Amino acid sequence: MTTDKLHRAKSYPYHLPDRSYLLSHDGFEEMTGDALPLSLEGRTPVIACGSNQSPERLSQKFTLQEDRPIPVIRARLKDFDTVYSAHFASYGSIPATLRSSPGTTVSLFVVWLTDQELDRMHETESVGINYSFGRFDGIEAEQEIGGPLNMAYAYVSLRGALARNGAPVPLARVSAERRNWPGLDQEEILEHAREFLAPEVPLDRFITGIIDNKDRRSSLTQALNEKALTEWDSAFTPIKF
């Protein structure tokens, strides 16, 4: 069981497909061709920058109906990057958040959700604690299928961006062009956090302590917050619930 916990923590953001896909009750299927296989009418575009890009993680969040797949469309988003948030998830990983990054183009996914699915997503994102849900206006996102977006919704960390040498840290597993800062994978960012939070503790024990002890997880998150980059992006408008 401990091995499974460690694997889950270190594997974030999990498998990211090469193409847009449909998520259904029996898995996911990559889209082919240039036309959408279903209508997006009545759905909300939500930018996924971390594990919400992964069919593995999304399938854990939703009870999917056979005739109601979720479209997840690959997109190139200009002047942003995916970076680590300054908090620990309950499963031991350091999750992601969006960050303004002039000149960078990051490859992400846009998850198109019904109102009911969006309500469920809010439940899984610790809205008001770790993340704020809101709208990005004036963006340039070119979807692989379905055309460009100049507005979309997203979850942005209330904890700020984790800082390393005074700069945000992109997720190395998420591809981007012209990055402004060096990226790290999940195990590397956890090791970085361990080095300044608990240098005397081996990495695997550090991770299991985060998973198994809620109070310790909270205190370590608070320590990350003290060095976080917390300024908001001017294009982001939080939505109050």
Structure tokens at 92: 């031991």
Which burial class, exposed, middle or buried, applies to 6 when counting CB atoms under 10 A from its CB (0-12, 13-18, 19+)? middle
Binning pLDDT at 50, 70 and 90, where does residue 107 land?
Answer: very high
pLDDT in tens, 8-61: 999 999 999 999 999 988 889 899 877 788 889 999 999 999 999 999 999 999
Structure tokens at 165: 């040498």
**pLDDT-above-90 percentage for the chain:** 85
Binning pLDDT at 50, 70 and 90, where does residue 1 land?
Answer: low
Provide the pLDDT for residue 233: 82
Contact predicate 31/19, CB 8 Å: yes
Provide the pLDDT for residue 34: 79
**pLDDT-above-70 percentage for the chain:** 98
Query: What is the spatial distance between Cα 229 and Cα 226, in angstroms, rounded to a whole number?
Result: 9
Stretch 161-177: mean pLDDT, rounded? 97
Stretch 3-7: mean pLDDT, rounded? 94
Q: Does 66 score more than 60 pLDDT?
A: no
Residue 97 neighbours by CB under 8 Å, 6+ apart: 49, 50, 82, 83, 84, 85, 131, 155, 156, 157, 161
Q: Does 101 score more than 70 pLDDT?
A: yes
Domain count, the chain: 1
Domain of residue 52 covers 2-238
Provide the pLDDT for residue 241: 67
Provide the pLDDT for residue 15: 95
Query: What is the spatial distance between Cα 136 and Cα 150, in angstroms, rounded to a whole number?
Result: 8
pTM greater than 0.75: yes
The CATH number linked to 185 is: 3.10.490.10
Provide the pLDDT for residue 65: 66
